[in-house]
Amino acid sequence: LTQLFRPLDMLGMVYRTVRQGLIDMSAMFQLIDTDAEVKDAPGAPALVVRRPTLTFENVVFGYEPDRTILHGLSFEVPAGHHVAIVGPSGAGKSTIGRLLFRFYDPRSGRILIDGQDIAGVTQESLRAAIGIVPQDSVLFNDTIGYNIAYGRDGASEEDVRRAAEGAAILPFIERLPQGLDTEVGERGLKLSGGEKQRVAIARTLVKDPPILLLDEATSALDTRTEQEILATLHRVSERRTTVAIAHRLSTVADADQILVLEQGRLAEQGTHSALLAKGALYAEMWARQAAEREEERDAAE
Protein backbone atom coordinates (compact mmCIF):
# COMPACT_ATOMS: atom_id res chain seq x y z
CA LEU A 1 0.00 0.00 0.00
CA THR A 2 2.84 2.39 0.79
CA GLN A 3 4.09 1.74 -2.71
CA LEU A 4 0.78 2.82 -4.09
CA PHE A 5 0.72 5.99 -2.04
CA ARG A 6 4.31 6.99 -2.58
CA PRO A 7 3.76 8.30 -6.16
CA LEU A 8 0.63 10.13 -5.02
CA ASP A 9 2.57 11.66 -2.18
CA MET A 10 5.22 12.73 -4.66
CA LEU A 11 2.68 14.16 -7.04
CA GLY A 12 1.19 16.24 -4.25
CA MET A 13 4.63 17.44 -3.34
CA VAL A 14 5.50 18.28 -6.93
CA TYR A 15 2.23 20.14 -7.31
CA ARG A 16 2.87 22.18 -4.18
CA THR A 17 6.42 22.76 -5.30
CA VAL A 18 5.45 23.99 -8.72
CA ARG A 19 2.63 26.13 -7.40
CA GLN A 20 4.97 28.36 -5.48
CA GLY A 21 6.68 30.99 -7.58
CA LEU A 22 10.18 29.84 -7.13
CA ILE A 23 11.05 26.32 -6.28
CA ASP A 24 13.75 24.34 -4.69
CA MET A 25 14.70 22.57 -7.88
CA SER A 26 17.12 20.15 -6.32
CA ALA A 27 14.34 18.95 -4.05
CA MET A 28 11.98 18.60 -6.94
CA PHE A 29 14.42 16.78 -9.23
CA GLN A 30 15.10 14.32 -6.50
CA LEU A 31 11.37 13.76 -6.11
CA ILE A 32 10.54 13.20 -9.72
CA ASP A 33 13.92 11.74 -10.62
CA THR A 34 14.30 13.71 -13.78
CA ASP A 35 16.18 16.71 -15.03
CA ALA A 36 15.27 20.08 -16.46
CA GLU A 37 15.64 21.10 -20.08
CA VAL A 38 18.84 22.84 -19.08
CA LYS A 39 21.84 20.51 -19.35
CA ASP A 40 25.43 20.70 -18.14
CA ALA A 41 27.90 21.44 -20.94
CA PRO A 42 30.17 18.41 -21.55
CA GLY A 43 33.13 18.64 -19.18
CA ALA A 44 31.66 21.68 -17.43
CA PRO A 45 33.75 22.68 -14.40
CA ALA A 46 32.28 23.34 -10.97
CA LEU A 47 31.49 26.90 -9.96
CA VAL A 48 34.15 28.19 -7.60
CA VAL A 49 32.91 31.02 -5.41
CA ARG A 50 35.58 33.08 -3.71
CA ARG A 51 33.79 36.41 -3.76
CA PRO A 52 30.07 35.96 -4.41
CA THR A 53 29.49 38.83 -6.80
CA LEU A 54 26.46 38.50 -9.02
CA THR A 55 26.13 40.05 -12.46
CA PHE A 56 23.28 40.15 -14.97
CA GLU A 57 24.69 41.25 -18.31
CA ASN A 58 22.13 42.32 -20.86
CA VAL A 59 19.88 39.35 -20.13
CA VAL A 60 17.06 38.78 -22.60
CA PHE A 61 14.57 36.06 -21.75
CA GLY A 62 11.06 34.83 -22.54
CA TYR A 63 9.28 31.59 -21.69
CA GLU A 64 7.79 31.49 -25.18
CA PRO A 65 9.53 32.57 -28.40
CA ASP A 66 6.98 35.27 -29.22
CA ARG A 67 6.86 36.90 -25.80
CA THR A 68 9.89 38.53 -24.25
CA ILE A 69 9.75 38.89 -20.46
CA LEU A 70 13.17 40.40 -19.66
CA HIS A 71 14.41 42.95 -22.17
CA GLY A 72 18.17 43.20 -21.78
CA LEU A 73 18.47 43.38 -18.02
CA SER A 74 21.81 44.44 -16.50
CA PHE A 75 22.74 44.88 -12.86
CA GLU A 76 25.50 43.98 -10.48
CA VAL A 77 25.42 42.93 -6.84
CA PRO A 78 28.79 43.26 -5.08
CA ALA A 79 29.80 40.41 -2.75
CA GLY A 80 27.94 40.55 0.54
CA HIS A 81 25.47 43.22 -0.63
CA HIS A 82 21.73 42.98 -0.35
CA VAL A 83 19.60 43.79 -3.34
CA ALA A 84 15.83 43.89 -3.34
CA ILE A 85 13.82 43.47 -6.52
CA VAL A 86 10.45 45.19 -6.52
CA GLY A 87 7.89 46.10 -9.15
CA PRO A 88 4.34 45.48 -10.26
CA SER A 89 2.92 41.99 -10.60
CA GLY A 90 4.18 40.29 -13.75
CA ALA A 91 7.20 42.61 -14.09
CA GLY A 92 9.53 39.58 -14.11
CA LYS A 93 10.82 39.51 -10.51
CA SER A 94 10.48 35.77 -9.90
CA THR A 95 11.79 35.11 -13.40
CA ILE A 96 15.10 36.66 -12.34
CA GLY A 97 15.28 34.13 -9.50
CA ARG A 98 14.49 31.23 -11.81
CA LEU A 99 17.24 32.30 -14.21
CA LEU A 100 19.73 32.70 -11.37
CA PHE A 101 19.02 29.13 -10.28
CA ARG A 102 19.32 28.17 -13.97
CA PHE A 103 15.88 26.71 -14.29
CA TYR A 104 16.11 28.29 -17.76
CA ASP A 105 18.90 29.80 -19.85
CA PRO A 106 18.69 33.40 -21.13
CA ARG A 107 17.99 33.88 -24.81
CA SER A 108 20.99 36.18 -24.90
CA GLY A 109 23.22 37.89 -22.40
CA ARG A 110 24.96 36.28 -19.44
CA ILE A 111 24.55 35.72 -15.72
CA LEU A 112 27.82 35.58 -13.81
CA ILE A 113 28.68 34.55 -10.29
CA ASP A 114 32.17 35.58 -9.22
CA GLY A 115 32.97 36.18 -12.90
CA GLN A 116 31.87 32.70 -14.08
CA ASP A 117 29.00 32.31 -16.53
CA ILE A 118 26.46 30.11 -14.74
CA ALA A 119 25.58 28.46 -18.07
CA GLY A 120 29.11 27.02 -18.24
CA VAL A 121 29.38 25.39 -14.81
CA THR A 122 27.75 22.27 -13.38
CA GLN A 123 24.22 22.77 -12.14
CA GLU A 124 25.05 20.87 -8.98
CA SER A 125 27.79 23.35 -8.04
CA LEU A 126 25.59 26.29 -8.98
CA ARG A 127 22.71 25.09 -6.83
CA ALA A 128 25.02 24.32 -3.94
CA ALA A 129 26.07 27.99 -3.97
CA ILE A 130 22.56 29.40 -3.73
CA GLY A 131 20.20 29.03 -0.80
CA ILE A 132 16.54 29.67 -1.40
CA VAL A 133 13.92 30.63 1.12
CA PRO A 134 10.73 30.45 -0.96
CA GLN A 135 7.40 31.95 -0.01
CA ASP A 136 5.84 28.59 0.68
CA SER A 137 8.43 26.08 1.75
CA VAL A 138 8.22 22.43 0.83
CA LEU A 139 8.55 20.13 3.78
CA PHE A 140 9.02 16.42 3.33
CA ASN A 141 6.75 13.98 5.09
CA ASP A 142 9.55 13.06 7.45
CA THR A 143 11.04 14.28 10.72
CA ILE A 144 11.92 17.90 11.48
CA GLY A 145 15.56 16.77 11.75
CA TYR A 146 15.46 15.23 8.28
CA ASN A 147 13.86 18.36 6.85
CA ILE A 148 16.67 20.53 8.21
CA ALA A 149 19.52 18.11 7.44
CA TYR A 150 18.29 17.97 3.84
CA GLY A 151 20.17 21.24 3.28
CA ARG A 152 23.45 19.40 2.92
CA ASP A 153 24.54 15.77 2.48
CA GLY A 154 26.27 14.49 5.56
CA ALA A 155 24.99 17.17 7.95
CA SER A 156 25.49 16.01 11.55
CA GLU A 157 22.97 16.36 14.36
CA GLU A 158 25.16 19.10 15.78
CA ASP A 159 24.94 20.98 12.43
CA VAL A 160 21.17 20.57 12.49
CA ARG A 161 20.88 21.87 16.05
CA ARG A 162 23.08 24.85 15.32
CA ALA A 163 21.03 25.68 12.23
CA ALA A 164 17.78 25.33 14.17
CA GLU A 165 19.20 27.71 16.74
CA GLY A 166 20.21 30.20 14.04
CA ALA A 167 16.70 30.02 12.61
CA ALA A 168 15.24 30.56 16.11
CA ILE A 169 13.27 27.32 16.07
CA LEU A 170 15.39 25.22 18.43
CA PRO A 171 13.38 26.11 21.58
CA PHE A 172 10.17 25.08 19.78
CA ILE A 173 11.74 21.77 18.68
CA GLU A 174 13.09 21.06 22.14
CA ARG A 175 9.63 21.42 23.62
CA LEU A 176 8.33 18.59 21.41
CA PRO A 177 8.43 15.20 23.14
CA GLN A 178 10.33 13.67 20.26
CA GLY A 179 12.43 16.72 19.46
CA LEU A 180 14.16 16.55 16.09
CA ASP A 181 12.61 13.12 15.51
CA THR A 182 9.09 14.55 15.40
CA GLU A 183 7.32 13.71 12.18
CA VAL A 184 5.96 16.71 10.29
CA GLY A 185 3.56 17.21 7.39
CA GLU A 186 0.65 14.99 6.53
CA ARG A 187 1.94 12.18 8.71
CA GLY A 188 2.58 14.20 11.83
CA LEU A 189 2.79 17.62 13.34
CA LYS A 190 1.22 20.45 11.40
CA LEU A 191 3.50 23.46 11.43
CA SER A 192 2.30 27.04 11.15
CA GLY A 193 3.45 29.18 8.22
CA GLY A 194 6.05 30.87 10.41
CA GLU A 195 7.40 27.58 11.78
CA LYS A 196 7.66 26.16 8.28
CA GLN A 197 9.60 29.24 7.22
CA ARG A 198 11.96 28.72 10.14
CA VAL A 199 12.55 25.10 9.15
CA ALA A 200 13.33 26.33 5.63
CA ILE A 201 15.72 28.93 7.04
CA ALA A 202 17.42 26.27 9.17
CA ARG A 203 17.74 24.07 6.08
CA THR A 204 19.42 26.98 4.32
CA LEU A 205 21.75 27.53 7.28
CA VAL A 206 22.85 23.89 7.13
CA LYS A 207 23.61 24.43 3.46
CA ASP A 208 25.56 27.60 4.33
CA PRO A 209 25.51 29.06 0.81
CA PRO A 210 27.38 32.26 -0.15
CA ILE A 211 24.31 33.51 -2.04
CA LEU A 212 20.76 33.77 -0.75
CA LEU A 213 17.61 34.12 -2.76
CA LEU A 214 14.56 35.16 -0.78
CA ASP A 215 11.33 34.91 -2.71
CA GLU A 216 8.83 37.08 -0.86
CA ALA A 217 9.86 34.90 1.99
CA THR A 218 7.43 36.39 4.45
CA SER A 219 4.38 37.26 2.38
CA ALA A 220 2.20 34.45 3.72
CA LEU A 221 2.61 35.49 7.35
CA ASP A 222 0.80 37.83 9.70
CA THR A 223 2.58 41.11 10.46
CA ARG A 224 4.08 40.12 13.79
CA THR A 225 5.42 36.75 12.61
CA GLU A 226 6.67 38.51 9.49
CA GLN A 227 8.66 40.99 11.58
CA GLU A 228 10.20 38.17 13.63
CA ILE A 229 11.10 36.12 10.57
CA LEU A 230 12.54 39.20 8.89
CA ALA A 231 14.80 39.78 11.88
CA THR A 232 16.01 36.18 11.63
CA LEU A 233 16.53 36.48 7.89
CA HIS A 234 18.45 39.67 8.45
CA ARG A 235 20.88 37.86 10.72
CA VAL A 236 21.15 34.89 8.38
CA SER A 237 21.87 37.06 5.36
CA GLU A 238 24.71 38.99 6.97
CA ARG A 239 27.87 38.59 4.91
CA ARG A 240 25.98 36.72 2.19
CA THR A 241 25.12 38.17 -1.18
CA THR A 242 21.35 38.39 -0.97
CA VAL A 243 18.68 38.88 -3.59
CA ALA A 244 15.22 39.46 -2.14
CA ILE A 245 12.19 39.42 -4.40
CA ALA A 246 9.54 41.46 -2.65
CA HIS A 247 6.02 42.77 -2.89
CA ARG A 248 5.89 44.73 0.31
CA LEU A 249 8.23 47.67 0.18
CA SER A 250 8.31 47.90 3.97
CA THR A 251 10.45 44.76 3.95
CA VAL A 252 13.11 46.09 1.59
CA ALA A 253 13.80 49.64 2.76
CA ASP A 254 17.16 48.74 4.28
CA ALA A 255 18.56 46.96 1.20
CA ASP A 256 21.89 48.26 -0.16
CA GLN A 257 20.23 48.59 -3.52
CA ILE A 258 16.68 48.39 -4.77
CA LEU A 259 15.96 47.43 -8.36
CA VAL A 260 12.59 48.60 -9.60
CA LEU A 261 11.45 46.40 -12.43
CA GLU A 262 8.71 47.40 -14.82
CA GLN A 263 7.67 45.16 -17.69
CA GLY A 264 11.00 43.38 -17.74
CA ARG A 265 13.08 46.54 -17.74
CA LEU A 266 14.98 48.24 -14.98
CA ALA A 267 12.95 51.39 -14.41
CA GLU A 268 14.91 52.67 -11.39
CA GLN A 269 17.75 51.63 -9.18
CA GLY A 270 19.11 53.01 -5.91
CA THR A 271 18.73 53.08 -2.15
CA HIS A 272 15.37 53.58 -0.52
CA SER A 273 16.07 57.24 0.32
CA ALA A 274 17.50 58.01 -3.13
CA LEU A 275 14.49 56.45 -4.82
CA LEU A 276 12.07 58.32 -2.57
CA ALA A 277 13.88 61.58 -3.31
CA LYS A 278 13.59 60.87 -7.03
CA GLY A 279 9.81 61.00 -6.70
CA ALA A 280 9.07 58.58 -9.54
CA LEU A 281 7.81 54.96 -9.72
CA TYR A 282 9.26 53.68 -6.42
CA ALA A 283 8.09 56.78 -4.55
CA GLU A 284 4.59 56.26 -5.95
CA MET A 285 4.58 52.60 -4.95
CA TRP A 286 5.80 53.54 -1.48
CA ALA A 287 3.10 56.18 -1.03
CA ARG A 288 0.41 53.77 -2.20
CA GLN A 289 1.54 50.98 0.13
CA ALA A 290 1.86 53.41 3.04
CA ALA A 291 -1.75 54.49 2.47
CA GLU A 292 -2.80 50.82 2.37
CA ARG A 293 -0.98 50.12 5.63
CA GLU A 294 -2.76 53.09 7.17
CA GLU A 295 -6.13 51.75 6.05
CA GLU A 296 -5.32 48.29 7.43
CA ARG A 297 -4.38 49.85 10.77
CA ASP A 298 -7.59 51.86 10.86
CA ALA A 299 -9.65 48.80 9.98
CA ALA A 300 -7.93 46.80 12.73
CA GLU A 301 -8.75 49.39 15.41
217 is an interface residue for ligand ATP by CB under 6 A: no
Q: Could you say which of 23, 69, 121, 246 contacts ligand ATP (CB under 6 A)?
A: 69
Q: Could you say which of 21, 72, 80, 270 contacts ligand ATP (CB under 6 A)?
A: 21
* Least distance (Å) between residue 4 CB and ligand ATP: 31
94 is an interface residue for ligand ATP by CB under 6 A: yes
* Least distance (Å) between residue 245 CB and ligand ATP: 6
**How big is the site for ligand ATP, counted in residues (CB under 6 A)?**
13
Stretch of 91-99, 108-116, 176-184, 293-301 lying at the interface with ligand ATP (CB under 6 A):
91-99
92 is an interface residue for ligand ATP by CB under 6 A: yes
* Least distance (Å) between residue 248 CB and ligand ATP: 11
In the region spanning residues 236 to 295, those forming contacts with ligand ATP, defined by CB under 6 A, are 247
Q: Could you say which of 95, 116, 147, 242 contacts ligand ATP (CB under 6 A)?
A: 95
Provide the b/e sequence for 105-118 (b: ≥16 CB within 10 Å): bbeebbbbbbebeb
93 is an interface residue for ligand ATP by CB under 6 A: yes
Report the interface residues with ligand ATP, using CB under 6 A: 21, 63-64, 69, 87, 89-95, 247
